[in-house]
Each structure stands twice: as structure tokens, then as C-alpha cells.
Amino acid sequence: YLLLPDTSSIDITVSSPAEPKGKRPPVLVDGVTLNGPTLDIREAESFLRDAMPIIMEEAVWKATDVKEKVCEWRSPEQLKDLLDLELREGGEAHPQILQRCRDAIRYSVKTGHPLFFNQLYAGMDPYSLVGRFITEAINPSLYTYEVAPVFLLTEEAVLQKMIEIIGWQEGGDGIFSPGGSVSNMYAVNVARYHHCPDVKVLGLSALPRLVMFTSQECHYSVAKAAAFLGIGTNNVYVIPSDKRGKMIPAEFEKQVQRAKDEVRRRTMNGVSKVVWCQICYACWGGGALMSKKHRYLLQGIHRANSVAWNPHKMLMAGLQCCAFMVRDKTNLLQRCHSAQASYLFQQDKFYDVSYDTGDKSIQCSRKPDAFKFWLMWKAIGTKGLEERVDRALAMARYLAEEIKKRDGFRLVMEPEYTNVCFWYIPPSLRDMADGPEFWRNVHAVAPVVKERMMKKGSMMVGYQPHGDKANFFRQIIISPQVSREDMDFLLDQIHSLGMDL
């Protein structure tokens, strides 16, 4: 409960009625002297003037220079001491804050560095970066046309072009979301609303039990979505995949039958109806759609009812940039998510309020994530995006062929896209017979090599186990700043870091 302020204590006094002409006298209200602005704009200018060269030099140019380190590893305990994290009563002077900026940059991982291969994003695009600086300076939120005209229109333009590239000839609709996982939640929510519009008002407790089908190799956000949206992870039916990770059609049929049987057994009325919404999670792979040569990898994507595609990954638009798109043309996103807040989405505005698209979203304030992508796209064109994708795929192919040529390296499988998964086998294990003991030993190699590369700061590549497969390296190629020599360096480096194991 909020208490009412004691208005009797409010004291409004014109403290000096004899101020110089033109300047208004200050007023004392509730213990605070009010007159001009209290933010010293000269001081702010001088701070930004000093800070910007540090950012450009340390966080942009050095951070993307192949001759510099990818990271300057410190343990959590060391770094806590170095950063002096505590927030205190008093502030700090500019030189100290500038040093904090330098330290924050120094101990951060340089994700734009050519030798950062650790995640499904990498590299630095100068146009996207300028787009991001603009939006951070302007600080917009995308509820309504009134407060974000440029950013809503660029979002619409980007979505329409992406929808065209997916191949939905009748068009579609979409929204940028804070991450592929949230896009997947959108997809599930829109699908269930499409088939059971009552869910919005009545909730799942009033509906027959709903189930989801997904591939064994799906992203972990499918489980997160099932839990968050109240469906439950047990109601996700997982379809086994073949050795290359492709869903097996015959197994799909079996899972559908299993779900029908189980739902029938558990529901009172015995009804189980199967309806379909096909959801395509192309957050990472969507980039291939830009390439005439490689878009066959996503053959059939236009048959999906919804698509999640993150240009911050393969297309280097900068985190975050995540489009969720639906083939629907009946305002499904709006109907499914709207709550019609009267303080934002007034209907008596003087412009066409169909441009106030914020109520399509589950968010209220929302960042302008499409603008940086739009600006980059304008600068390098569809052709420029295509060339980057083609080059990254060729580079992955080159790396895979090098791996096959080298002793002690073994591909987990032939790459299809730009993820190249491989084992490094140190000399001590090369003569050991293939078997459980061999793989137990191999399993222990990648974590040690990773530790050594992090502590050296020479490069970063991820590793993981998968099913019954021992830990392997998962190399991701994205950025046009990656050179062929970097691929050779990567393999040399892994060998030199792990040859004694």
C-alpha cells in the first residue's frame, strides 16, 4: 500500500524575487531548489569526448585485431577484486570512471575478434555498429509510431523483406523479439491460439491436453517454452533423429500415435484431435536463405506457419536481432497477444494507429533491434550478405578438408553449414584401440585445451559432448574478418595446446 504524501509539509517559496531580468528566480519545493537543469552538459560533453576514443580504440579496433588477444582471463575471484564492483554512496571522478571503462573492456571477451569461434555469433560489422550507436543515443521504445516512427518503419521493411526471402508469396506478419528462445515461445503461443483461441481467456485448464512434437536435436528453448507456457515438458514428444541429426519421418508417425493413445487414456472425454502448426526454428541456419547457392539447405521453409530467424547470428547484425514471423495474414499476432492498454494504444490519435504495432508483442518497452540490420543491409546490399554467407560456408569446407588431412584431428561428421565439429586426439592416444577407454580419454582433452587457450587468450572455440559422443570442439565460422590462415592457426594451436595430453 502506498501512503499519501503529507502535503501539509510542502513548502513552495519564491526564495529570491529580485533575480536579474530574463533569468527566473529559483523556487524551493519540498527541500529542493528548482531552477535550471542540474545535469552539467559541459561536464557530460567532456566525459564523452574522453570516453569515445577509448571505446573506439580498445573496444572496436584492438578488439577486432587478429594480433591482439581474444580474452584476458581472470578467475571470478580475481576479477571481482580488479573491478571493485561495490556500489557506494558517493560517486567517482571522471578519470576513475574512464579507467573503469578501460578495465571493463580489457577483461571482456572480444566477441568481434577474428579468432572468437565460441558461439553462434561473432565478428564486427561497422554499419550495424553505427546503427546500434544511433539507437542507444536516441533510446527509443517501439510501442507506437508516435514515439518511434523511424524504427517502426524500418522494422516493418526488414520483416517484409525477410518474409519475401522465406518465400511466403502472400506475405505475412512479424515482430522482433529479445532472442530466439522468446521467438520460439511466440511460435508455440501463436500456434495454440490459432487452433484454440479460448486459451487466451480460459487458460489451459479449460482445454484438452495439448502436446508438442519436436526433433530430438531441437534447441533447448523448446523445453523452456513448454515449461513457461504451461504445457509441461512431459507433453513434448521428441522424435528420434538419424545419425546426421535429421528427424526420422517414420518415428514421427510413431510419436503421434503414442501421443494420441496417451492423451486419450488421460482425458475424460476421450477426444484427441490432431491439428498442426509447423514451426521452423531457423535462428542460426536462416542465414543460408540469403545465398542462392545454399538456400536449398532450408528447402520447404515456406511451408512452415511460422519462422524464427536471428540476423544477429550468421548475418552479424549484432546482439540482439531476432525476427519472429508468421505466414498468417489475419492479424494473428495482434489478436493473440494484445491487451489494449488505453494509456499507450489510444484509438483517437490523429494518424493511422495500425502503425502502433506494440500490442503484437508480449513486451511493453521494446528495443529497435531491426534498425541496425536495416542500415547494414542498405550498406552492403543483399549481394553483400550473400557473399558473406557463401564465404563462411567455403571457409568451413576448407577447415573440414584440413581436418581430414591432419593427423590427430577427426571430424564428428561432414559439416553442412558453418559449424565444424571435430575431435583432437593427442599423440598419446593415437595408437589406442577405438573403444570406451579411448573415448573416455578423448572426452577429457577438449576441456583442458579450452582452459589453456582461455588462459593464453589466443582464441576461443567451444566444446561439448553430444548424446554418447565424447567432448568435441564446435567451431563456428561467420565473420568476413576470419582468414584462411586463421583456420590453419586454429588447428596448429589446438595441437600445440594439447599435444602433451
Which H or E run contains 360?
none
**Min separation Cβ 131 and a second copy, Å:** 8
Q: Which is nearer to a second copy, 205 or 433 (CB)?
A: 205
**Of 402 and 495, CB closest to a second copy:** 402
User: Position 411: which residue type?
Assistant: L
Residue of 363, 441, 458, 496 interacting with a second copy (CB under 8 A):
363
What sign does the dihedral 111-65-477-284 (CA atoms) show? positive
Phi-psi map region of 203: left, alpha, beta (phi>0 left; psi -120 to 50 alpha): left
Cis peptide before 334 (omega within 30 of 0): no
Task: Please list the residues that pair with 215 across neighbouring strands.
Answer: 239
Alpha-carbon distance 297 to 352, whole Å?
Answer: 40
Q: Which stretch binds a second copy (CB under 8 A): 63-71, 271-279, 427-435, 492-500?
A: 63-71
How many C-beta neighbours within 10 Å does residue 46 have?
12
Residues 168-207 that bind a second copy (CB under 8 A): 178-182, 185, 189, 199-207
| HEC letters along 29-56 | ECCEEECCCCCCHHHHHHHHHHHHHHHH
String marking each residue 65-84 x if it binds a second copy according to CB under 8 A: -x-------xxx--xx--x-
501 near a second copy, judged by CB under 8 A: no
The closest alpha carbon to 285, from 272, 271, 302, 297, belongs to: 297
Contact with a second copy (CB under 8 A) among 13, 15, 16, 100 = 100
Judged by CB under 8 A, does residue 250 bind a second copy?
no
Q: Using CB under 8 A, which residues numbered 287 to 346 contact a second copy?
A: 293, 296-300, 310, 312, 318-320, 336-337, 339-343, 346
3-state secondary structure of 419: strand
Asked if residue 61 binds a second copy (CB under 8 A), the reply is: yes
Q: How far is the CB of 366 from a second copy (least distance, A)?
A: 7
Interaction of residue 141 with a second copy, rule CB under 8 A: yes
Grid coordinates standing for 164?
519475401
57: which DSSP letter?
A: I
State the nearest-atom distance from the C-beta of 235 to a second copy, in Å.
5
Q: Is 64 in the site for a second copy (CB under 8 A)?
A: yes
Restricted to residues 403-432, the positions that interact with a second copy (CB under 8 A) are 414, 416
Nearer to a second copy, 88 or 431 (CB): 88
Q: Which range in 27-35, 273-281, 422-430, 492-500 contacts a second copy by CB under 8 A? A: 27-35
Contact between 213 and a second copy by CB under 8 A: the answer reads: no
In the complex, minimum distance from the CB of residue 496 to a second copy, in angstroms, rounded to a whole number:
18
Rounded CA-CA distance 182/186 in Å is 6
Q: Which residues lie across from 444 on neighbouring strands?
A: none
Nearest 10 degrees: Cα torsion 248, 254, 260, 266: -110
129 binds a second copy (CB under 8 A): yes
219 binds a second copy (CB under 8 A): yes
Q: For a second copy, which residue of 175, 326, 482, 497 counts as binding (CB under 8 A)?
A: 482
* 3-state SS assignment for residue 420: strand
